[in-house]
A and B are shown apart, each in its own frame.
Chain A
Amino acid sequence: MTTGLALRSVTKRFGGFAALEEVDFVAHGGEVHALLGENGAGKSTLMNVACGIYAPDEGRVEIDGKAVSIAGARDAAARGIGMVHQHFKLVPAFSVLDNILLFNPGRPAAEVGAEAQRLAARIGFDLPLEARAGTLPVAEQQRLEILKVLIGGARIVILDEPTAVLSPEEGTALMGLIRGLADEGAAVILVTHKLHEALHHSDRITVLRQGRTIAETTPEGMNPAELTTLIVGEQIVEEPELSSHVGERVIWLNGVELAGDAGRRGLTGLDFQVRAGEIYGVAGVAGNGQSELAEVLMGLARPTGGTVWMDGENITEAGPAGRRRAGLACIPVDRYRHGLAGRLSVADNYAVNGVLAGRYGGWMWLNRAKARARAREAVEEFDVQGVRGMGQRAALLSGGNAQKLVIAREFEGETRVVLAHSPSRGLDVRAGAAVHARLRAARDAGAAVILISDDLDEILLLSDRIGVLSDGRMAAEFTAPADRAEIGRAMVSHGDD
């Protein structure tokens, strides 16, 4: 086994804040190396140092035992390091082939195209080279990212939380793919929050905490509880806990239809209701109408048929503003699209609900000091880490902490209905548990909670009732405690039973 990539006592500071302190990390060729750690532990930063996006303040980067200085991402690629980032770096308007060419400049298109096809076939998927990158489903965009770095000749492949946006099935397929890469001699580094990926699909594990390496170990003989303790420093046990008091009907979808079009599944005759004090889990294989359902609930998409009722009022025609006034809180699945404005400050991102509700003054005057103070309290209360000033741009929060900021904002006021779409995506175990606790607290305070998630474990853990979304309609409904296998069957039945 050769040393692929070694980072030796790397320190990286942003302003006065040390994101990494004397971190050591070694990944060998031929292995899958899992990099774990809490939100904001410094995983992405460390990998950005490895692939030349950041220069370390102290310490060095070695490739095959030789110290190197990497002059940016292009140079890293030339040295065989390729990274698939937490947020994809694709040009949506470009074709698949153009995106690959952009990353591998100076090579003839025909040659690259042929190689892409060959490589894709070898690792077991195909990609339409002419399709526009922006129109591909997330899983295929990610394959494109992987293909991009492999064609560049990467033998050190870094994947930053690759399965966060994938369905469990797609995730499993990806794990097979990276094992194949490692078998061919590549060093694969897998950044993840999913313990089972580290335990079942990696050869070695490094754990970061607050910018320091705190453990390097192998998955043999480890169990999830031990790994959790390593990562967050404490045991975290989540137990199902059913609702003690279910009240009257709060939200009711009656025969909701949404016309589908290219790349979008429609909804057909969607019927379900959620009562006060219960968590209604929407299970299903990704792509069966989850996003469309979320858009209908948020008021972003007008149903083409049927009605949506909330507290006895027909809100089918109401937009997001009206619904929020009526007490709807949303944790959207894509926090950088529907959750945050990355260019604006943490305080401004937090303030928006309060501003719209008139809590910081009328139309002509905005009490920014008050908004800032309120944001500071909330950041503290929801444990959003890495915020060193309220004026800091939201885009530079670590992925998980950005999610916490959204959650803090959405849970600010009185809520009647909570829509949570994959709310613990990208969160560490502790933060995930904290989100689950928030959802339960909202339920216990009498809200109707709708939880849409691809993660059946999460659904089973939290839900009082479970609906299975298949082909744009509710194929089956279960009351907790429900049988996992039965739900699984309903998920793939395509609603024809």
Chain B
Amino acid sequence: MATTENLSLRERATKPRPAFRLVPLLEPRQKVGETRRIAVYAASLGLAALLSVLLLAVSGVPPSDLGTEIAATAFSSPRALGSVLAQMAPLVVAGLATAIAFRANFWNIGLEGQMILGAICATAIAIFDIGPEALRLPLMMLAACAGGMGWIAGPAYLRQKLGVSEVITTLLLNYVAFNLLLHLLYGGWKDPVSSFPHSEQYEAVERLPQLGWQTLTWALPFAGILAAALWWILSASRLGYLLDLLSANRDMARAVGVPVAGLSLAAILASGAVAGLTGFVISAGIEGRMTQDFHVGYLFNGVLIAFLGRNHPLGVVIAAFFMAVLVQVGQSLQVFFGTPFSLVRLTQAIFIICVAGSEFFLTYRMNFRSAS
């Protein structure tokens, strides 16, 4: 039996060989240069754009119209651009919240719940007029942080002490938060003026001021400052370095004396706090009150943006801008071409898959050469 097996192996061993291989060998790269990184991302985005255009063309949006549509809805007028930028602000904050948690290997799927708690706490400060007017906004901000942190503290504790998967706990707490929100908005916090299920309108001192250009408020600079601060912390500070070490090899980090439990807890709480701020930015910066559906879609978008931005604050800003354009264009496609919303989501998915796939070309070198 052994001999026949060997014989067949021998036959296979000597089958003719082609001059080059169709299936390349993959060899790990030792390091990736910046130019290559940028080129690979650009190529993957180009591919995604191409596929999306094809997909839309098949479903009845002519590519030429698509071009003008994008230009018109996103870039043609200051008004269009202003509305893209306004959409972008909360997306940046949501992306940052998710990215921080992901950097600490904590799969925070509870962004919406934390946003809701952040907004509820901020709104409490607003409707009960807590604190002097000059400090009202900062107080609301702090309250939003506290709310988000509080909502993530439970899952953090369960994960660290009992090893309960945070994917389940953070996800389920979203529903708890949503029902709490409904309870408040249909109950005691209903708008006394209109009796609609949203909170009363914030007073002027409780809203982020207008920038004086289009409809933009301070929400956008706020998101920018937050991104810059996190960029600093994650790439230039000791905290960021230790966080990288922790996510690369937790056992090693512990053995060399990195306070792993404290550090991951800090990162998780920070993620919750920033998630809470997302609720604050939407309520105080855009809506001017707490509505019942302000959070819808942010969980998904937050994960997407963090992912596309590779958990890097600057990447998050770029990805959020991108997403805002997609959302805006998607809305107008729905209106003018009757494109279904699912198709818009599908194009977003194409972008993610392409960027995700590009990672592969950064990690490996492909060798098509056959031995000479």
Q: What chain B residues lie within 8 Å of A55 (beta carbons)?
A: 21, 25, 27, 367, 369-371
Q: Which residue of B lies closest to A344 (CB)?
A: B248
Q: How far is the CA of A72 from the CA of B364 in the complex (A)?
A: 14
**A405 → B minimal CB distance (Å):** 12
* 25 A-B contacts (beta carbon < 8 Å): A54-B27, A55-B367, A57-B369, A58-B372, A60-B372, A63-B14, A64-B14, A66-B13, A66-B14, A69-B17, A72-B25, A80-B6, A155-B6, A300-B254, A323-B257, A339-B255, A341-B245, A341-B252, A343-B249, A352-B256, A355-B241, A361-B238, A363-B239, A365-B238, A391-B31
The 4 closest A-B pairs by CB, nearest first: A321-B257, A341-B248, A341-B249, A69-B17
**Do residues B255 and A60 form an inter-chain contact, with CB atoms below 8 A?**
no
**With A and B bound together, what is the CA distance between A356 and B258 in angstroms?**
7
A396-B30 contact in complex given A64-B14, A352-B245, C-beta closer than 8 Å: yes
B252 touches A353 (CB 8 A): no
A-B contact sample (6 more), CB < 8 A, given A69-B21, A153-B5, A338-B251: A72-B23, A155-B6, A322-B257, A330-B255, A338-B252, A361-B238
Q: Which residue of A lies closest to B370 (CB)?
A: A69
Docked pose: A387 CA to B6 CA in angstroms = 42
- B244 on the A face (CB < 8 A): yes
Report B-chain residues with C-beta under 8 Å of the C-beta of A72. 23, 25-26
**B357 within 8 A of partner (CB):** no
Question: Are B9 and A79 within 8 A (Cβ)?
Answer: yes
User: Smallest distance from the beta carbon of B346 to chain A beta carbons, Å?
Assistant: 33
B55 sits at the interface (CB 8 A): no
A224 close to chain B: CB less than 8 A? no
Mark interface residues in A305-331 (1 if CB within 8 Å of B CB, else 0): 000000000000001111111000010
Interface check A56, CB cutoff 8 A: yes
Most chain A C-beta atoms within 10 Å of own C-beta, residue among B27, B233, B244, B257: B257
Please indicate which of the listed interface residues B233, B252, B254, B367 has the most CB atoms of chain A within 10 Å of its own CB.
B252
Residue tally, chain B, CB below 8 Å to A = 44
Task: Quote the shortest CB–CB distance from A139 to chain B (angstroms).
Answer: 22
Q: A320-B254, A366-B238 are in contact. Are A71 and B10 (CB under 8 A)?
A: no
Contacts A71-B25, A153-B5, A356-B258 given; indicate if A59 touches B371 (C-beta within 8 A). Answer: yes
List A residues at the B interface (Cβ < 8 Å): 14-15, 52-61, 63-64, 66-69, 71-72, 78-80, 153, 155, 298, 300, 319-325, 330, 332, 337-345, 348, 351-353, 355-356, 360-366, 388-389, 391-393, 396
Instruction: Tell which of A341, A360, A389 has the most Cβ of chain B within 10 Å.
Output: A341
B6: A residues at CB distance < 8 A? 80, 153, 155
CB contacts (< 8 Å) of B27 on chain A: these are 14, 53-55
Q: Is B237 an interface residue (CB 8 A)?
A: yes
Are A320 and B255 interface neighbours, CB within 8 A?
yes
Which residue from chain B places its CB closest to the CB of A298 in the assembled complex? Answer: B255
A residues less than 8 Å from B13 (CB atoms): 63-64, 66, 68, 79-80
Contact of B30 among A71, A78, A393 (CB under 8 A): A393
Is B256 in contact with A14, judged by CB distance below 8 angstroms? Answer: no
Q: A79-B13, A80-B9, A365-B236 are in contact. Are A14 and B30 (CB under 8 A)?
A: yes
Min CB gap B297→A, angstroms: 33
CB-CB nearest in chain A for B21 = A71
How far is the CB of A268 from the nearest CB of chain B, in Å? 24
- B100: shortest Cβ distance to chain A, in Å? 16
Chain B 29-40: CB-based contact to A (< 8 A → 1; otherwise 0): 011000000000
> Which residue, B23, B26, B371, has most C-beta atoms of chain A within 10 A?
B371
In angstroms, Cα B60 to Cα A35, docked, is 64
Distance in Å from the Cβ of B365 to the closest Cβ of chain A?
9
Contact of B245 among A53, A300, A344 (CB under 8 A): A344
Question: Any chain A CB within 8 A of the CB of B132?
Answer: no
Asked whether, in the complex, the Cβ of B256 is within 8 Å of the Cβ of A320, the reply is yes
A69 to B21 alpha-carbon distance, docked (Å): 8
Cβ contact within 8 Å between A68 and B372: no
Nearest residue, chain A, Cβ from B369: A55
Beta-carbon contacts under 8 Å, B229-270 to A = 232-233, 236-242, 244-245, 248-249, 251-259
CB of B238 within 8 A of CB of A363, answer yes
Q: Which residues of B from 1 to 60 have beta carbons under 8 Å from A? A: 5-6, 9-10, 12-14, 17-18, 21, 23, 25-28, 30-31
